[in-house]
Structure 1
Amino acid sequence: MDARRAWVSQAIGLLEADANRSADTHLHVFPLPPEWGIDLYLKDESVHPTGSLKHRLARSLLLYGLVGGRIGPETTLVEASSGSTAVSEAYFARMLGLEFITVVPRSTSAEKIGLIEFAGGRCHYVDDPMAVYGEAERLAAECGGHYLDQFAYAERATDWRGNNNIADSVFGQMTRERHPIPSWIVVGAGTGGTSATFGRYLRYHRHETQLAVVDPEGSAFYDAWRTGDHGYETGRGSRIEGIGRPRMERSFLPEIVDEMMRIPDAESIAAVRLLRDRTMHWAGGSTGTNLAGAFRLISRMRDEGRTGSVVTLLCDGGARYQNTYYSDAWVAEQGLEIGPARARMNDFLETGRWRDG
């Protein structure tokens, strides 16, 4: 075995050791009236070493590059991300002794930049947020590095058949619950990799579980799914970090999604505050988007006289959003009013019925 192949073997061993330590995250129960006969669970991805669901994605992307021969001991890793994916990729790059550069819009907050740099990454700035893709590709070619390209490779980097991926972990943890096969899995879409993993896993294992994808304001995924236009673009970003994109990304597979819902940003923020008040779990806005979608589906199940379980994700911790989603001043600056959404959720948890605003 030559030196490069030996290094790759060692690198894969390090990534697998990380997976062995951190892959089985907690599955929390959200309190619902037991007489409803419906149970709601949140898979807590915030407990990963880098604090988010993107820890799994980053590890998979690096493994995909390693086994595909595109990452070696001198390879510079490049990404287009200003959020949790970049933080996680920087963490793994440092673990392997590799340089990591992520292309970010110049408007990226100092808090995000600080998280990426703390994990060992370096930020390269562009003025136009839509230019991050092309600039990342250019940088990788210029330095002879590897463009990890989460938006292209997320769906293919994860083994959807099992191998302790997030779907496999959820179904393993559900085996002793009163409704072990969920009626619904509810996730958001940023790259589309998580929904692709769940959707294909459900079909491969022949589960009757349905997949719902929730999408925030400003994102292209919902309209791409609704219209069938895979080139759909909104030209806008999303206030809900980690999910929503201004264009339809290649890793999103709309054909395996059973239902999509567009969730207002005010509901997403109200939901994470409700989660904190009812469970003491802090989470980011994407978790609120998930919860709002889960509440709608549970209301529908009750209307149909059905019992069962619903599983969604707690995507990342709330501490990094103290100055945004948990700040009344920030919410007001955004022109959002979360009071009506919170009242609607409180009413749902008392009556079991979801009433749209």
Structure 2
Amino acid sequence: MADDSDRTADENSVADGGYLEREEPRAETTGTPYQTGDPVLARIGETPLVDYPEPTEGGDILLKLEADNPTGSMKDRVALGMIRELEAKGQLEADDVVVEASSGNTAGAVALVTNRLGYDSVLTVPEGTSGQKIGYVRAFGSEIVECPDLESGDERHYRSTAERIAAERGGVWLDQYSTQLNPTVHYEWTGPELWQQAAGDLTHVVCPMGTGGTLSGIARYVKEQTSDVDIVGVDAEKSNISEAFYDRDPGTYDTDVEGLGKERELPTMWFDYIDEVRSVGDRRAFEEARRAAAEHGVLVGGSSGAAIAVAREVADDQPNARIAVIGCDGGEQYFDTVFAEGAMDTEASREEPASSYPE
């Protein structure tokens, strides 16, 4: 039997489910701009950009696997970058308590970074946050405060609770939902890394939007290199990011896809660098995540599933497209939701379009 080196490039194409071979390897990245000397934190970043093995009508899809970060998501970058920026500005000192509010991946990321840098930390989360995500916080020794899942204006809301704890304990509240450090970290780090890995050869960047920091930072960096790359945000179907982007009246925010969408526009969303926002329903997002695992062996969460759905649309519509999709986290944290048997009937969505956006 011939070994893999005897296969032709065509035999390794996405058409038969394999990864594309390339004559030239992708460029190595230059590493993090937020050096610490810590061997664990040094594993954050430099995540791979791989060919997504999905047959399309024409365009190529590249998937950036942020699940390769230590806690399994791109929030490791945000936690490390924001804390290092605050240290550099003299706004975070050795005896300070780091406080953050998170409904998901940021909690574990902050717990890891503060563990390695020697800070005490308190993480506030809403009730219903997955046990896997809370597990990171407990494993790394951070204090966790579970709050009622209430409207954001309530003083018992997890974000309001974080602000109050920081004030009472003289701590430093990171506040990923409003600080400009959130998108700035991605402008300084993720954007250049992606651009270098793709050798500047992209037509689109597609990324889920929660706080919007990841896409905003990447978008600004890429737009400074060229205006020829279309930046596409991915929103939940019942969310108000797209409503704010297109200057429409807000509706009710309600989605089952963790980390996707928001009830309103946030200061961390730099719309000036984004070309369009498409909305994806919960069922389609779950379906694409499950397809990625079952058909391609790629384990991603629901928000990444939504982004893949949009990328497939773009690739089918534009034969020469070269699309980078940001896979924000892995699927291991969603075995009891996205991948649970009967968690969501995806059959009803098979004939629906992947996304909706103004013509």
TM-score under structure 2 length normalisation: 0.81
Deviations 1:198-243 (A, max 9, x none): 21112221241010001013322111111167xx5x5534311122
Structure 2 unaligned spans of 5+: 1-33
- How many percent of aligned residue pairs carry the same amino acid? 27
Partner of 1:140: 166
RMSD: 2.5
Matched, 1:314 2:292: no
Cα 1:264–1:235 change in 2 (3 A) is closer
Q: Distance in 1 between matches of 2:170 and 2:125?
A: 20
Partner of 1:152: 178
Q: Distance in 2 between matches of 1:235 and 1:338?
A: 23
Contact 1:93/1:100 (8 A) holds in 2? yes
Partner of 1:171: 195
Q: Which consecutive segments of 4 or more residues in structure 1 shift more than 4 A?
A: 15-20, 154-157, 159-162, 342-345
Q: Which has the higher helix share?
A: 1
Aligned ranges 1:1-357 → 2 under 5 Å = 13-14=35-36, 20-33=42-55, 36-127=57-148, 128-130=150-152, 131-154=157-180, 158-159=184-185, 162=188, 165-175=189-199, 180-227=200-247, 232=250, 234=251, 236-302=253-319, 307-331=320-344, 337-342=345-350
Q: Distance in 2 between matches of 1:109 and 1:206?
A: 40
Contact 1:80/1:133 (8 A) holds in 2? yes
Structure 1 unaligned spans of 5+: 1-11, 332-336, 349-353
Deviations 1:270-296 (A, max 9, x none): 101111122211111011011011112
Q: Distance in 1 between matches of 2:42 and 2:35?
A: 10
Give the letter aligned to residue 150 of structure 1: Q
Q: Distance in 1 between matches of 2:253 and 2:55?
A: 39
Deviations 1:7-53 (A, max 9, x none): xxxxx65277656433211112112448x552111000001111111
Give the letter aligned to residue 339 of structure 1: E
Q: Per-residue deviation at 1:317? A: 1.4
2:330 partner SS: coil
Q: Distance in 2 between matches of 1:94 and 1:103?
A: 16
Q: Distance in 2 between matches of 1:75 and 1:181?
A: 43
2:306 partner SS: helix
Question: How many pairs does the alignment contain?
Answer: 317
Q: Distance in 2 between matches of 1:22 and 1:222?
A: 30
Q: Per-residue deviation at 1:59? A: 1.1
Q: Distance in 2 between matches of 1:224 and 1:192?
A: 12
Contact 1:103/1:136 (8 A) holds in 2? yes
Cα 1:330–1:157 change in 2 (3 A) is closer
Q: Distance in 2 between matches of 1:32 and 1:103?
A: 39
Q: Per-residue deviation at 1:160? A: 5.8
Give the letter aligned to residue 313 of structure 1: I
